[in-house]
């Protein structure tokens, strides 16, 4: 996710509640299913999700998707 086009925005989220790799995979699938998301990578160890948006960043939609998957998320910082 290091080579972003000018129209893509990357954002980092802190994710709480993940206990195993299956949890991380569930969070990643939920994020990728969110409209406007071009890519997502979730790190269980870092408790972080890095999300690349294809257009305007819809932070609230990603936080809601993570919540619907059963986990808590908060905006961590803007990556790019």
Residue 48 is assigned to a structural domain of this protein = yes
Q: Please determine, for residue 79, whether its predicted confidence score (pLDDT) is greater than 80.
A: no
Residue 70 is assigned to a structural domain of this protein = yes
On whether the CB atoms of residues 42 and 49 are closer than 8 A, the answer is yes
Residue 52 is assigned to a structural domain of this protein = yes
- In the chain, the number of structural domains is 1
- Residues 29-74 pLDDT 10s: 999 999 999 999 999 999 999 999 998 889 999 999 999 999 999 9
First to last CA, the chain: 11
Q: What is the CATH number of the domain that holds 41?
A: 3.30.70.100
pLDDT score of 20: 97
Residue 1 is assigned to a structural domain of this protein = no
Residue 2 is assigned to a structural domain of this protein = no
Residue 54 is assigned to a structural domain of this protein = yes
Q: Which domain holds residue 18?
A: 9-78
pLDDT band at 4 (very low <50, low <70, confident <90, very high): low
């Amino acid at each position: 996710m290091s080579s972003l086009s000018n129209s893509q925005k990357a954002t980092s989220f802190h994710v709480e509640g993940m206990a195993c790799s299956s949890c991380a995979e569930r969070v990643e699938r939920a994020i990728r299913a969110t409209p406007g998301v071009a890519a997502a990578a979730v790190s269980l160890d870092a408790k972080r999700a890095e999300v690349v948006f294809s257009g305007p960043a819809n932070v609230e939609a990603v936080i809601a998707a993570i919540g619907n998957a059963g986990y808590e998320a908060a905006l961590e910082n803007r990556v790019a």
